[in-house]
A and B are shown apart, each in its own frame.
Chain A
Amino acid sequence: MSDDVILEFKNVTKKFAGVTALSDVSFSIRRGEIHGICGENGAGKSTLMKILSGVYPYGDYEGQVIYNGKELKLEEGSIRKAAEEGIAIVYQELTLVPFGTVGENIYLGKEPVELGIINWDKLYSETDALLAKYHMDVNAHTVVRHLGVGKMQMTEIAKALAENAKILILDEPTSALAESEIEQLMQILQGLKRHGVTCIYISHKLDEFFKITDSVTILRDGKTVLTSPTKKLNVESLVRHMVGREMKARFPEGNRKPGAVIFEVEDLHALDPNDTNTEIIKGVSFNLRKGEILGIAGLMGSGRTELVMTLFGEYGKINKGTIKLEGRDVKAGSASQAMRQGISLVPEDRKRHGLVLMQSILRNISMANLDRFASFLRINDAAELKESLELAKSLAIKTSNLHARADSLSGGNQQKVVISKWLMSRPKVLIMDDPTRGIDVGTKFEIYKIMNELAEQGIAIIMISSDLVEVLGMSDRVMVMHEDRSVCTLNIADANQEKIMALATGTAANSKPERSKS
């Protein structure tokens, strides 16, 4: 690695009507390094990236961006131009055509043509060469929608590389990945580095910066706080710089006192609703106590989400086993049925499954519970507003007005809206599928506090998480899943990262892990 600078921001300021998103941002990135950028939501990370990608064109901001020794001047609407210059972005939300093959996607928009006809042989041979060069384990002919998230992301990265990207920007690349996939991604990034590609790495998962980056720039409130070699930092100093105050712990003190068992799942098996020959849940047993947080750990694809969606009545067809709530059999036939029996689910993907983004915060909160306010011909809008307002206040949703559209909120606050929606149905069992995905450290802490409070009120919480630190930090017990089965449930005192990973990957040394007594 040299001191050769590939990209430099010089006093970059970007203002929106009344709001300064970036103020006097200056830092530089050396050629061939992996450069982390971290900061809370709203710190200015995405604005910075939008300048690099040409969404905010040259002249729309003050200051200079020097790229390869020349000032970068992207014109209005020239997102293609940024790519041609060698700046490529892999977004958090993947942008692939699901019905196309890996090869088609990688060469989308730049297919090799002869006389207007695509030369498929050339396309696929080049794809194979590209994938081999960076050691990406994907088949060029696989249709993208059959891939897992990790492989989709590889395809996305390969797509950027096919444009001869000099700088690859990765925006929260690991937010949807399981631990093993993250490992693969890290290896690919190391490979890119060897080939001289510069990476800008944005993430909310702080430990990743220490695993992969050479240096880190910290943004806070639109200003650069610090650029430093990663070696000179540790998690505490990173967090301190990010939030501008001392954060004592990542997890709030809880005072949870789990009570009697309220929810029991015994040897649950379920079939794929679209293909009743395939079993998607192959034997899950666990129980849940009142006021307890039960973490579910497992790799992406281990059946975690399928399990909770089935419990909520919205996915698998149960063909064996029992679900009991307060001793009574639960009929899990649909979401509304599950809700009526006291089960709520905060889904994994809040934008796709949780919110109606174009509607007001108020409507989103009350959406699932209009029964409470509705008579045949009228919704009592004053009562609706009152109850929603109380929830919004108790969860500290940051908005001046419940009539504002849901998409005007930041990710963390959107998540609070989804949680409010599900609390309104007054659940006994609250299932949360990856509740802090893509949320900044400060808001994560708030969500954890909310979870603690709910548990203290006696709600039983099931939390899925891909973040093992979170699972260990928040759960009373941890159930580990592997290949659509529950492997075992550990008391938190007996659990650690190594043990969980071993169980989740099916490589546990002790083939008969001790079952917790509860």
Chain B
Amino acid sequence: MSAISATPQETMFTKVVRQLRGNLQTYTLVVAMIVIWGLFAALTGGSYVSAQNFSNLFRQMTITAIMSVGMVLVIVTGGIDLSVGKLAGYISVWAAFLQLRVWDSIFPGQALLAAILSSIAGIGIGTLFGVIQGYIIAYLRIPAFIVTLGSMWILNGLILVRTEGKTIAANQPYFSEIGQGYLPAWLGWIIAALIVAALFGLMFTSRRRKAKYGFTLPPIGMDLAKTIFFCLLVVGYVAYVNAYRGIQNPVLILAVLAIAVSYISDNTKFGRHAYAIGGNREAARLSGINIQSNIFKIFILMGFLCGVSGVVMASYVGYGTIAAGGGYELDAIAACFLGGTSTFGGEGTVFGAMVGALIMASLVNGLQIMNVPSAWQYVVKGIVLVIAVLLDVYMKRNR
């Protein structure tokens, strides 16, 4: 793509091999996921890969996966956020409270307006919390681990205060659609068509830009093959979920967020600086990168994502409870590590974390279908996490 000196002996084949090897880690994960699917499909006599279960499986991963989208960047900069589970839980409790107790008395019968207001309020609370937490971590320089651990306890207490120990129903019309609804099949196809068009559009604009700056373009066949492969994935996914009830609303929300943050992480100063800070803080500082403001922004983004996650949670579960979001932070963190994010910071992708989250969800879903007791589900989850990261470390060492 950008050989500094032309290497004429590089054939199409060696080039493909080189690129494949570069992304080995991500492919390993995808392969691992397919192996898990195959295994459960065989063990459950095919019901695991039915359209219905496939649809559910993706839906189940959304709440923690939305947290993972931001967690990747937090970990990449060398931080951690232990408060995300309880923050999303707190927001879900607020959303439920607003739904049941507040909006209906102010705007009677306005279910759509109520759902919109609850969502805005939830996201607002999350963002505000992110601002406070980010300020303390970035500008007052208290380690993220300590601040977020404290926040976790604080939020746990606030959840009890808000719920007064009771369960609050959040199953009102419209609001339920956020986490439980599906898009009609025709709308699903329109979205699929738009994505396909966008993928081709991106491919051609990227080639045009490269040409404008005088770079030799990769063979069109390779770019086309790549683009067609992703188009097939998208079309295949839409076709399969349409065979059940359509694209799941929460999955759509997750996809939009994941793509947006993934793009930001690679194509904006904010994202690039985050990776530089995590890779070498001192070098980043001496390069004139404003570390404090970058970390501040990342925690705001994390708070925003917790807001979305909390609203989806309330809608998906249908009520706000005292246990809301408990332990989800660890699932979100585990998804990042499964997806190849380095514990030391500096490395990790949103895409990897999404695959990590999907692997976790696939595992839990499969074990549930097989009626494995929840105690053993934990055991399996733990073993898979450690083995997966072990494999990852081993592969990196032998690269």
Q: Is A347 part of the contact surface with B, judged by Cβ < 8 Å?
A: yes
B215, A382: Cβ atoms closer than 8 Å:
yes
Contacts of A162 in B (CB 8 A): none
Answer whether residue A354 sits at the interface, using C-beta atoms and an 8 A cutoff: yes
Query: A359, B346: Cβ atoms under 8 Å?
Result: yes
List the A residue with the shortest CB-CB distance to B212.
A382
Across-interface contacts of A397 in B (CB, < 8 A): 4
Interchain CB contact under 8 A, A379 and B268: yes
Interface pair A353/B283, CB less than 8 Å apart = yes
- Which of the residues B2, B269, B279 comes within 8 Å of A356, measured between beta carbons? B279
Residue from B7, B209, B268, B347 whose CB has the most chain A CB atoms within 10 Å: B268
Stretch of B120-128, B152-160, B287-295 that contacts chain A:
B287-295
Of all chain B residues, the one with the shortest Cβ separation from A347 is B286
Chain B contact residue count (CB 8 A cutoff): 32
Convert B252-264 into 0s and 1s, putting 1 for each residue whose CB lies closer than 8 angstroms to a CB of A. 0000000000000
Q: Interface code B2-24, partner A: CB below 8 Å = 1, 0 otherwise?
A: 11110100000000000000000
Nearest Cβ on chain B to A401's Cβ, whole angstroms:
6
CA distance A141 to B224 in the complex (A): 67
Bound-complex Cα distance A393 to B290 (A): 29
B-facing residues in A385-417 (Cβ within 8 Å): 385-386, 389, 392-393, 397, 399-403
- Complex contact A378–B268 (CB within 8 A): yes
CB-based contact B213/A386 at 8 Å: yes
User: Contacting chain A: which of B167-175, B270-278, B324-332?
Assistant: B270-278
Verify if B210 is at the interface (C-beta below 8 Å from A): yes
User: How close is B78's CB to chain A, nearest CB, in angstroms?
Assistant: 12
Q: How far is the CB of A316 from chain B (nearest CB, A)?
A: 15
Stretch touching chain B among A270-278, A365-373, A462-470, A495-503: A365-373
Q: Which residues of A contact B267 (CB under 8 A)?
A: 377-379, 381
B282 at the interface (CB under 8 A from A): yes
User: Is B190 an interface residue, CB under 8 A from the partner?
Assistant: no
How would residues 310 to 322 of chain A score, 1 for a CB under 8 Å from any chain B CB and 0 otherwise?
A: 0010100000000
Report the Cα distance A386→B290, complex, angstroms. 25
Give Cα distance in the complex from A421 to B286, angstroms: 11
Determine how close the nearest CB of chain A comes to the CB of B149; give it in whole angstroms: 25
A347 to B5, CA, bound (A): 28
- How close is B11's CB to chain A, nearest CB, in angstroms? 15
In the bound complex, how far is the Cα of B374 from the Cα of A199, in angstroms? 63
Write out the residue numbers on chain A whose beta carbons fall within 8 Å of the beta carbon of B283. 352-356, 367
Contact present for B4 and A382 (CB under 8 Å): no
* Distance, CA A334 to CA B289, complexed state (A): 10
A400 touches B5 (CB 8 A): yes
A345 touches B286 (CB 8 A): yes
Counting CB contacts under 8 A, is A358 at the interface? yes
Tell me how far the C-beta of A462 lies from the nearest C-beta in chain B, rounded to whole angstroms: 16
- In the complex, the answer to whether A368 meets B280 with C-beta atoms within 8 Å is no
In the bound complex, CA of A347 to CA of B282 (Å): 10
Partner of B2, one of A314, A345, A385: A385
Choose among B4, B275, B286, B290 the residue that contacts A359 (Cβ–Cβ < 8 A).
B275
* Contact (Cβ within 8 A) A353 B2: no
Residues of B within 8 A of A380 (CB): 209
Measured CB to CB, the closest approach of chain A to B284, in angstroms, equals: 7
Which of A347, A370, A378 is close to B273, meaning CB atoms less than 8 Å apart?
A370
- Contact assessment for B286 and A374 in the assembled complex, using a CB-CB cutoff below 8 Å: no
Residues of A320-373 at the interface with B, using a CB-CB cut-off of 8 Å, are: 334-339, 345, 347, 352-359, 362-363, 367-368, 370-371
A371 to chain B: closest residue by CB? B269
Q: Is B373 part of the binding interface, using a Cβ–Cβ cutoff of 8 Å?
A: no
Task: Give complex CA distance A209, B10 in Å.
Answer: 44
Q: Is A383 an interface residue (CB 8 A)?
A: yes
Query: Which residues on A sit within 8 Å (CB–CB) of B286?
Result: 312, 314, 335, 345, 347, 353-354
Can you give 12 A-B contacts (C-beta < 8 A)? A334-B288, A335-B286, A336-B290, A362-B2, A363-B272, A367-B287, A368-B287, A377-B268, A382-B209, A382-B215, A389-B2, A389-B4
Known A-B contacts: A355-B283, A383-B213. Give 18 more (CB < 8 A).
A336-B288, A338-B288, A353-B282, A355-B280, A356-B279, A356-B284, A356-B346, A359-B346, A367-B272, A368-B287, A370-B272, A376-B268, A379-B269, A381-B267, A382-B213, A385-B215, A386-B214, A400-B5
Q: Which 6 A-B pairs have the closest CB atoms?
A: A336-B288, A356-B279, A368-B287, A335-B288, A382-B213, A356-B280
